[in-house]
A = this chain, B = another copy of it.
Amino acid sequence: MTASSVSGATAVWVDGVPAQSLPLPDRGLDFGDGLFETLLLRGDTVLFSNLHLRRLKRGLEALYFPACLAEVTRLLGSAAAAIGLKNWRWSALRITVTRGSGPRGYGPPSNPKPRIIMVATELGPDYGKILSPAALTLSSVRWPTQPALAGLKHLNRLEQVIAAREYRLAGADEALMLNQSGQPISVVAGSLFLHNEGRLLTAPLGDCGIAGTRRELIMRRWGPALGLAIEETVLTPQQVEDADEVFYSNSLVGLRPVASFGGRSWATYEICEALYGRYQEEIR
């Protein structure tokens, strides 16, 4: 498996074949009819692949895709091997699974053939060091209320696109995204955590948001290993400002502390740094 170079250190495969384009029509383009995952690789090793594949499986089932997880797993192995040959020390691999082609209209074909698109991007050789604390703004666009799709990493991501544009224009590093009731859920590209005196708080995801893989690791493994109590609970913006520490997590950043939000700024990041230490142990 070799891959076409698109721009700089990038490689693209469609259904396992090096490609620079997607056959049309595709329901992923037409309706966002699909799912994705962004995985971290060290050399040819895919990190935390089980967590990503488990979330993808939940999404495939929720969208009534035909079973294709075995094929995704097989192509992931081939892509990882091909990436290994490139001598990239660290890379990001986005897997997109769409419902493939179909006739005009919302209704999926009765026998869809999913399409699997993989895009690999080299990360800098210095990857694996904690990023500088982030300036956090408040997004003006909120998560949509949709229990039927909450938690899934599907392709309908317009809110995050608009929110990301907004915080960049504001000169910030990330933005807090609220639900329709004004309760903090996440940042644009990551899960949100508050620390208060030995307790880690994060928002429930029953109505919106994405069930982050690193969120799961923090809640089930790294947090408890540090003796932290984990609470999934409704949050308020004021609680964010009042927290001892605020940080977020995603599959490429790992964990990143928040330096400022609203009227508040923070100067120490002990809990986030300690959790990042756990993260480093697992990826190295």
Contacts and interface: CB of A to CB of B under 8 A. Distances in A.
Nearest to A94: B104
A117 to B, nearest CB: 7
Contact of A24 (B6, B25, B106, B144): B6
A267 to B, nearest CB: 27
30 contacts: A12-B25, A21-B22, A22-B29, A26-B29, A28-B29, A29-B29, A30-B94, A30-B155, A31-B155, A31-B156, A32-B32, A32-B158, A33-B157, A33-B158, A63-B158, A92-B104, A105-B164, A105-B189, A106-B157, A106-B160, A106-B164, A106-B189, A141-B148, A144-B145, A144-B146, A148-B162, A149-B159, A155-B158, A156-B157, A156-B158
Interface string A86-108: 00000010101011000011111
A202 interface: no
- Which of A23, A92, A162, A188 has the most C-beta atoms of chain B within 10 angstroms of its own C-beta? A162
A23 B21 contact: yes
* Interface pairs A-B: 3 shortest CB-CB: A32-B32, A156-B156, A144-B146
How many copies of this chain does the complex contain?
Answer: 2
Contacts of A162: 63-64, 148
A160 B107 CA distance: 8
Given A12-B24, A22-B26, A31-B156, 14 more contacts: A6-B25, A12-B25, A19-B24, A20-B23, A29-B29, A29-B96, A29-B117, A33-B161, A108-B164, A144-B145, A145-B146, A149-B158, A154-B158, A156-B157
A226 to B, nearest CB: 29
Contacts of A22: 21-22, 24, 26, 29
A284 interface: no
A222 interface: no
Interface string A102-129: 0011111000000001010100000000
